[in-house]
Copies of this chain bind each other. A is one copy, B any other.
Amino acid sequence: MNHDPVKRLPGWATMSDVAHAAGVSLMTVSRVYKNPSAVSAATRERVLNEGDRLGFVPNMLAGNLASGRSAMIGIVVPSLRNSNNANSIQGMADRLRQASYQFMITNTGYSLDAEALAVEAFIRRRPDGLVLTGTRHSDETYALLRGSGLPVVEVWETEGPIIDMATGFRNREAGGEIARYLIAQGYDRIGYVDYPVPGLRRYEARRDGALDALRQAGLRADIVVSPLSTDVTEDTSSFRGGTSGLQQLLDAGGVRAVLCASDLLAVGVMFEAQRRGMRVPEDLAVAGFGDFEIAAEIPPGLTTIRTQGYQMGWAAADMLISRIEGLPIDTEIKNVDYALVKRGSA
């Protein structure tokens, strides 16, 4: 009697088991779990009881194979430790859960090659859609996505050519807005601390917007430092970047105000100012970008641009779901709002 193949997942009850136990066909069980309203209340009850009794949990791998849909999304982010990113991931997670999708996630460490590998690894699992960070990708990534025909949302940047859909905000505008605020406050020598990771459009845009504003106001737009621009890794401390950024600015002749590409850099600047006995904002005004949680807490409060990471993530998931389910989409490119938040630092 040893004709049965060895079971690799022993113990799992299957739909057949439940069907037998409940005295119905396979399809009825399937319907009970996928589309309960298509089954009479009585049979549904009976099937569910037997299912529970047998500890039946539907095997989605099998279902996905049969249906060609996986209810799974792949999300590619540069870093899992970036708290700014965490907000957008949470936004996606909440929207996806609401629609009964799950997600895989992977980080690339800001490497486009790693991104391509991640995308291929995801595609092997036949997700229903993909979320990528930024609008700059390797040729291989583009080829894979083209071949897959999958819905794709790019997040955080709406600059640059879009693959399919994108959510983000106007980085350039936002950079201009906070720079103009500093200018309006009467600060003259304004320095810019750029993001430590080079080549990201969103940071380039926000810097260029700021520098343009300075130029238009007739101010110097060349007091720019890129802390840690060598030897950058995913784990490069942004706080430390602010620290060395301020050092560099002071070495270069000093500034009256510092505009930073992210709040964490700004906090690093403020810490360094504190260490040097410089008062914020009296001796040095500081502005950040992102409105991270700490911005509201650090004395005297960090003036910054609030970006709506959570809403952006939610919108990204929402667009993806719409496309997957064939619903109409208003725009392929959705910009969420940002807002200047004035606090004590500038």
Q: Does A106 contact B (CB under 8 A)?
A: yes
Contact in complex: A294, B239 (CB < 8 Å): yes
Q: Does A161 contact B (CB under 8 A)?
A: no
Binds B, one of A84-92, A194-202, A214-222, A224-232: A84-92
Within 8 A of B (CB), among A87-108: 87, 89-90, 93, 97, 102-107
Min distance, Cβ A244 to any Cβ of chain B, angstroms? 11
- With contacts A68-B6, A68-B9 taken as known, whether A105 is within 8 angstroms of B103 at the C-beta atoms is yes
> Which of B93, B268, B332 is close to A80, meaning CB atoms less than 8 Å apart?
B93
The range of chain A's interface size is 35 or more
For A46, the chain B residues whose CB sits under 8 A away are: none
Within 8 A of B (CB), among A58-98: 58-62, 64-65, 67-70, 72, 80-81, 83, 86-87, 89-90, 93, 97
Min distance, Cβ A319 to any Cβ of chain B, angstroms? 12
Q: Does A31 contact B (CB under 8 A)?
A: no
Min distance, Cβ A325 to any Cβ of chain B, angstroms? 6
Q: Does A147 contact B (CB under 8 A)?
A: yes
A: which residues have CB within 8 A of B? 1, 3-11, 55, 57-62, 64-65, 67-70, 72, 80-81, 83, 86-87, 89-90, 93, 97, 102-107, 120-126, 128, 144, 147-149, 151, 237, 239-240, 243, 267-268, 271, 274-275, 293-294, 297-299, 323-329, 332
- 16 pairs, A vs B, C-beta closer than 8 Å: A5-B326, A6-B68, A6-B326, A7-B68, A8-B69, A9-B126, A11-B147, A61-B125, A61-B126, A72-B125, A80-B86, A81-B86, A81-B90, A105-B105, A271-B297, A271-B299
